[in-house]
Amino acid sequence: DAGVIQSPRHEVTEMGQEVTLRCKPISGHNSLFWYRQTMMRGLELLIYFNNNVPIDDSGMPEDRFSAKMPNASFSTLKIQPSEPRDSAVYFCATCGKWDHADTQYFGPGTRLTVL
């Protein structure tokens, strides 16, 4: 198995631009999580999906952030418009059964820099 796949691995953009991060979960995993990691705040959960349905988006910082999971094999996290304070590493993680406390497996992350 290739594991969780994220793209791009690095993104540099200018303030005000739209940014789209992508995630392909491990095949068969029903739950998908988006995290943000910064030196200031550590690892924060932004939103998670179960069977493609958003369950909890209370961690999404602002309306500028949105996430979708149109099917079981793909999810996007979009920031529009982006701001310098959005600069962070964004991780996608997936697991088999979120409500059974299954192990989450993380992707390699996307390092976002907003100038």
Partner 1 sequence: GESVGLHLPTLSVQEGDNSIINCAYSNSASDYFIWYKQESGKGPQFIIDIRSNMDKRQGQRVTVLLNKTVKHLSLQIAATQPGDSAVYFCAENMAGKLIFGQGTELSVKP
Distance, CA of 12 to chain centre: 17
The alpha carbon dihedral of 83, 85, 88, 94 has a sign of negative
Smallest distance, partner 1 to C-beta of residue 30, A? 11
Total site size for partner 1, rule CB under 8 A: 25
Residue choice 74, 81, 106, 113 for contact with partner 1 (CB under 8 A): 106
Residue choice 45, 66, 72, 81 for contact with partner 1 (CB under 8 A): 45
Considering beta carbons, is residue 36 or 82 the nearer one to partner 1?
A: 36
Strands, E assignment, the chain: 5-7, 10-13, 19-24, 31-38, 42-50, 53-56, 65-71, 74-79, 88-95, 105-106, 110-114
Stretch that binds partner 1, among 17-25, 65-73, 75-83, 92-100 (CB under 8 A): 92-100
Smallest distance, partner 1 to C-beta of residue 5, A? 11
Q: Does 65 bind partner 1 (CB under 8 A)?
A: no
Q: Other C-beta atoms within 10 Å of 111: how many?
A: 15
